[in-house]
Amino acid sequence: MRHHHHRADYHHSRVHRRDAARAAAAAALLALVLLAALFGISRWERQAYAPGGGGTAAASRGQPDITWNGTVYTPKQQVEAYLLMGIDVTGPVTSRPGNYNGGQADAQFLLVLDNEAQTWQMLRLNRDSMVDVPVLDLRGDVIGYERQQLALAHAYGDGTNNSCRNTVDAVSRLLGGAPIDGYAALNMDGIALFNDAIGGVTVTITSDFTAVDPTLVEGETITLNGQQAFEFVRTRKDVDDQTNLARMERQRIYLEAMKPQLLALSNEEVVRVMDAVNDYLVTNIGSQTVLDLAEKLRNYQGLPELTIDGTNTIEGEHVAYILDEDSLQQMILQLFYQEKTT
């Protein structure tokens, strides 16, 4: 499996106000990260722009052919994939020394672009999915793998790039070794800041939030302020059936409602919004790559969001989402493979 080891400085680097290209790049990254990380959730993590790094649409991905149900599939050769995360840590991003201080990645989305077909698609990953998680020692080296919730992969490490890379490793392994070209992770405090920076997001409240926030009245349509947005996309306890699946549906609703506002942002507004969330983001996706992604997302056909089927169960004191192996294999083939022609 191919790994990216760009040590992007995670400390804040501001968007240049007079640089339209950087503003466009920031807009794209904002859309990418907040398409996903925005709704991360369960308490709250941090930021950075890499000058280069991330994203190289490989001419050859080096993956083997797969035979499934009697059909041979070969890897697509012009695919890019980026992992977007929302992290359960409060405050701006800081390096927290140790091997288990990264915070959990409560929201995870994989953005996959097919440059040959000129399409893009999001795979939403359930944070409770039981997968092989890389376990790191104090030096940040992998010492083994344990079957744990996917969200815990980010907890290993110091909460910056090594935690992100560990999650990339876990997701890539889950998807049969599929290469992942870059990552972006947003601290959960960034949700409220971002929501307010774009003027609030209007949604219809579909759940009973009485026990959490009485201002969120079921059935009413309201423009969420920052704290309300945070509760709407984050809360699991005492809302709906208290499962991550129900929370993921609210995240989807919020994202759909937010999209028009993202698309309407001017360059100046992008700079202002990025200033608001700048200290809450970690990424190795370089500015030029983000600019390229923005152009592709604008011109490529967006396909429906995907999820991997599974079943919720309880293991010990925790919820475990047991992935359906057939559904998982279908996702791998759909995103990264095509039928082999002779």
Average pLDDT over residues 133-152: 95
pLDDT number for residue 291? 66
pLDDT number for residue 271? 66
- The rounded distance, in Å, linking the Cα atoms of 297 and 119 is 8
Do residues 99 and 138 touch, judged by C-beta distance below 8 A? yes
Q: Looking at the whole model, is its pTM more than 0.85?
A: no
Residue 237: which of 213, 257, 255, 202 has the closest Cα? 213
How many residues would you count in the chain? 342
Residue 168 belongs to a domain: yes
Q: Is the pLDDT of residue 134 over 80?
A: yes
Residue 73 belongs to a domain: yes
Tell me 300's DSSP state. Answer: S
Q: Domain range for residue 182?
A: 20-198+266-335
Q: Is the pLDDT of residue 265 over 90?
A: no
Q: Is the pLDDT of residue 95 over 80?
A: yes
Provide the residue type at 193 as one letter: L
Q: Residue 151's domain is classified under what CATH number?
A: 3.30.420.590
pLDDT number for residue 332? 98
Q: pLDDT band for position 61 (50/70/90)?
A: low
Do residues 208 and 218 touch, judged by C-beta distance below 8 A? yes
Q: What are phi and psi of 31, to 5 degrees?
A: -65, -45
Q: Is the pLDDT of residue 10 over 80?
A: no
Residue 54 belongs to a domain: yes
Residue 60 belongs to a domain: yes
Residue 70 belongs to a domain: yes
Rounded to 5°, angle at Cα 273 from 270 and 278: 110
Q: pLDDT band for position 118 (50/70/90)?
A: very high
Place of tokens 């992942």: 180
pLDDT number for residue 267? 62
Do residues 81 and 181 touch, judged by C-beta distance below 8 A? yes
pLDDT number for residue 287? 66
**Of residues 305 and 168, which shows the higher confidence score?**
168
Q: pLDDT band for position 88 (50/70/90)?
A: confident
Question: What whole-number percentage of the chain has pLDDT above 70?
Answer: 79
pLDDT, tens digit, for every residue of 310-334?
Answer: 999 999 888 999 999 999 999 999 9
Residue 11 belongs to a domain: no
Residue 212 belongs to a domain: no
Residue 245 belongs to a domain: no
pLDDT number for residue 17? 39
Q: Is the pLDDT of residue 45 over 70?
A: no
Instruction: Name the domain count of the chain.
Output: 1
